[in-house]
């Protein structure tokens, strides 16, 4: 009887040792996390990669069908992976320098983006929530995008604070074309199938119809307002010639291109000109900051140990 009890205790003890070993080695904690990259020894998991991919599908639903083939999905995943690597480097650099992250600003921007998504892409709150569920995505994931943008802005501001007017002048001297401005017009258009439809549109405009509202009703092109366009833009040459022949406030006759018949209106017009340094000062300062930031980040990428799996 005593021997049986000792045998039982030894067996129980052995089982306890095995359980402790399993717990210690992680065998009882579910499947091991799959790692897709390491940045300075810091891991990026497959789960993080998948989550960011889902965010892309949330913001651009068409991507999910456009990138449906296996090769396309893998190419997109590789692009997202390197984006995550860059953002991890940003995060590490911001922490190293000791820059303060504004969590409230990140949440605010995330909430505003959520509202814009519902307004512009999803027709209702319910449809938005349904899409989140379909993607198996938590709402808090939206903050990932704005955290990345916030970190980039923090580092950009930190690096750019040392840029001076001398740097901006040097940039302009090395890039004299920066002072040259192409002509441009701020253009609107309504695109229809036939010349008769175009003439009808012109008549309605003469009678007082609002160009943008009428365009939303009649135009085949979703973009009624094209914004600033220049002769260098990749638009139909016939369209460009007709747009630049107009004066602000003037409406064209029907303009035929391979897309159909356009009715064009411009609201602003600028001729080609050469600016002074004082006129481009703010832009030159920003370009100098951008160049300094890119140089700094490129060096970070070179200096940071990166492993992909």
Tell me the β-bridge partners of 257: 260
> Is 178 inside any structural domain?
no
Position 70 scores a pLDDT of 73
41 and 155, same domain (yes or no): yes
* Beta pairing partners, 185: 229, 269
With H, G, I as helix, E, B as strand and everything else as coil, classify residue 273.
Answer: strand
192 has which bridge partners? 261
Cβ of 154: how many Cβ atoms within 10 Å? 18
* 246 and 202 co-located in one domain: yes
| Residue 308 domain flag | no
Q: Give the integer Cα–Cα distance in Å for 8 and 1.
A: 11
Does residue 132 sit in the same domain as residue 199? no
Residue 120, pLDDT score: 87
Tokens encoding 113 = 């983006």
Check whether residue 26 and residue 5 sit in a common domain: yes
Which pTM was predicted? 0.69
- Please tell me the predicted confidence (pLDDT) of residue 65: 76
> Token pair of 70, please?
């296996």
Judgement on whether residues 146 and 118 belong to the same structural domain of the protein: yes
Per-residue pLDDT, 31: 58
Is 57 found in the same domain as 11?
Answer: no
CA neighbours closer than 13 Å in the CB half-sphere of residue 158: 18
Which distant-in-sequence residues (6+ apart) come within 8 Å of 205 by Cβ?
211, 214, 251, 263
Q: Following CA atoms 83, 89, 94, 95 in sequence, which dihedral angle do they give, to the nearest 10 degrees? A: 130
Q: Which pLDDT belongs to residue 285?
A: 98
253 vs 105: CA distance, rounded Å: 49
Q: How far apart are the first and last CA of the chain?
A: 58
Other Cβ atoms less than 10 A from the Cβ of 167: the count is: 17
Would residue 67 count as lying in a domain?
yes
The answer to the question of residue 111 being in a domain is yes
Contacts of 262 (CB under 8 A, 6+ apart): 189, 190, 191, 198, 239, 242, 252, 254, 255, 256
One digit per residue, pLDDT tens: the chain, 309 residues?
Answer: 444 443 433 344 444 433 333 334 444 455 578 999 999 999 999 999 999 999 999 999 887 777 777 788 888 999 999 999 999 999 999 999 999 999 999 999 999 999 999 988 998 999 999 999 999 999 999 999 999 999 999 999 999 999 999 999 999 999 999 999 999 999 999 999 999 999 999 999 999 999 999 999 999 998 999 999 999 999 999 999 999 999 999 999 999 999 999 999 999 999 999 999 999 999 999 999 999 999 999 999 999 999 999
Look up the CATH number of the domain holding residue 105.
1.10.4030
Tokens for 92? 């590490």
DSSP 194-222: SHHHHHHHHHHHHTT--HHHHHHHH-SSS
Token digits of residue 179:
């002072």
Range of the domain at 210: 183-271
**CATH number of residue 199's parent domain:** 3.10.50.40
Cβ atoms of 156 and 289 closer than 8 Å = yes
Provide the domain count of the chain: 3
Q: How far is CA 272 from the centre of its chain?
A: 32
The verdict on 127 and 216 lying in the same domain is: no
């Amino acid at each position: 009887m005593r021997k049986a009890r000792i045998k039982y205790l030894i067996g129980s003890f052995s089982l306890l040792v095995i359980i402790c070993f399993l717990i210690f080695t992680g065998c009882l904690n579910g499947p091991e996390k799959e790692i897709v990259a390491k940045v300075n020894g810091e891991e990026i998991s497959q789960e993080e990669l998948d989550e960011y991919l889902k965010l892309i599908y949330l913001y651009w639903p068409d991507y999910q069908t456009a990138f449906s083939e296996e090769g396309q999905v893998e190419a997109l995943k590789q692009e997202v992976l390197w984006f995550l690597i860059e953002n991890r480097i940003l995060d590490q650099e911001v922490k190293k320098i000791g820059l303060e992250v504004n969590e409230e600003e990140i949440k605010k921007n995330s909430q505003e983006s959520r509202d814009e998504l519902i307004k512009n892409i999803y027709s209702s709150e319910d449809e938005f929530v349904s899409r989140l569920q379909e993607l198996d995505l938590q709402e808090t994931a939206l903050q990932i995008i704005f955290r990345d943008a916030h970190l980039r802005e923090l580092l950009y501001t930190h690096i750019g604070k040392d840029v001076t007017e001398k740097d901006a002048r040097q940039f302009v001297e090395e890039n004299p074309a920066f002072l040259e401005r192409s002509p441009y017009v701020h253009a609107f258009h309504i695109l229809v199938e036939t010349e008769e439809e175009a003439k009808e549109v012109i008549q309605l405009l003469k009678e007082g119809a609002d160009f943008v509202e009428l365009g939303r009703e009649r135009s085949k092109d979703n973009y009624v307002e094209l914004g600033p366009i220049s002769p260098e833009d990749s638009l139909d040459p016939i369209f460009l010639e007709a747009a630049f022949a107009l004066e602000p406030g003037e409406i064209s006759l029907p303009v035929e291109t391979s897309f159909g018949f356009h009715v064009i209106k411009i609201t602003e017009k600028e001729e080609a000109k050469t600016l002074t340094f004082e006129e481009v000062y703010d832009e030159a300062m920003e370009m100098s900051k951008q160049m300094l930031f890119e140089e700094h980040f490129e060096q970070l990428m070179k200096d940071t140990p990166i492993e992909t799996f």
